[in-house]
Amino acid sequence: MAGWPRGSTVRRDAGLWGYERALARHGLLPIAGADEAGRGACAGPLVAAAVVLPDGKRGQVPGLADSKLLTPAARERAYAEIVDRAVAWHAVVISTADVDRLGLHVANVLALRSAVAHLGVDPSYVLLDGFPVPGLCAPSLAVWKGDRVAACVAAASVIAKVTRDRLMVELHEQFPEYEFATHKGYITPEHAAALERHGPCVEHRQRFINVRRASAEYVGDNGPMAEEIA
C-alpha cells in the first residue's frame, strides 16, 4: 500500500522530524523508517534496516543525520543512541552470493521488506529512502533523499551502515589484501588496484562489470584463479 494522508504537507524547512510530525497529526503512529547500505559496493553484503523511533523528545536522537554525512565515530555514537532509544529496530544482511543470485534491486527490496516485517511492532506508516517497496504491512511513502529529511529513515541508514561497516571490517581479517576495512567494498583507486593485482575473491559481486573484467583478466593471465578453475 502507498499514499500520503490527504491534506497533509511537509514544509521544506520542517527539519528532520517534519515527516514524523505530519504523520502523527493524522494519528499514524508508530512510524517506521527503512534504508539500506552497500547498494553501490562491488564487494560485501547488502544490509537493510528498519527503525521505529519513539514519539516526542526521546525520539530526537542527538547527532542524528544521514549516515553518509557522519564521521565513523559520530555514526557509532548515533548507532548507540538509536539502539538505546528505539521502540524497535531490525537489520537484515543479504550475502554477496544472494545479491548475485537475485540481482541487486530484487535483493534490496526483499531486504527492506524483511527488515520492516521483523520489527516486532506493526507500524501504521513506513517511510522509505528513494524508491517504493511493494508488499509492506502498512501504507508507505518513498521520499527522495529520505535519509536527509526523515528522522526514522536517517536512523535506519545509521543502523544499516554501522552494521555493514562492522561486517566489512571482519571480512578484512579474512581478505586483508583488499583493504575492505578502509573502503568497505566500494570502488576506490586502491580497491581497483587490488582487484587488478589479486583478482576478485568470493565476496566480490560478479554482476558488477569491474569485477567480471578483473575475473576475466586474472584467469586470462593464468594466475591462481585459473589454476583453481582448471
190 and 158 within one domain? no
Mean pLDDT (the chain, rounded): 91
Q: How far apart are CA 130 and CA 179, in angstroms?
A: 30
pLDDT tens across 1-48, in order?
357 777 677 877 778 999 999 999 999 999 999 999 999 999 999 999
Domain that holds residue 88: 18-171
Q: What percent of the chain has pLDDT over 90?
A: 84
105 and 87 within one domain? yes
- The CATH number assigned to the domain holding 126 equals 3.30.420.10
Query: Taking residues 214-226, what's their average pLDDT?
Result: 55
Q: How far apart are CA 58 and CA 80, in angstroms?
A: 14
162 and 62 within one domain? yes
Contact, 86 vs 44, CB < 8 A?
no
Contact, 180 vs 73, CB < 8 A?
no
3-state secondary structure string across 192-223? HHHHHHHCCCCCECCCCHHHHHHHHHHHHCCC
- Give pTM, 2 decimals: 0.90
Q: What percent of the chain has pLDDT over 70?
A: 93
Residue 225 has pLDDT above 50, yes or no: no
- The pLDDT of residue 228 is 23
- The pLDDT of residue 97 is 97
Q: What are phi and psi of 99, to 5 degrees?
A: -60, -45
141 and 50 within one domain? yes
Residue 22: inside a domain: yes
**Domain count within the chain:** 2
Residue at 21: amino acid letter? R
142 and 41 within one domain? yes
Q: How far apart are CA 146 and CA 154, in angstroms?
A: 7
201 and 163 within one domain? no
* Residues 102, 105, 107: CA angle, nearest 5 degrees: 45
Residue 121, classed as helix, strand or coil, is coil
212 and 121 within one domain? no
pLDDT tens across 139-190, in order?
999 999 999 999 999 999 999 999 999 999 999 999 999 999 999 999 999 9
Residue 50: inside a domain: yes
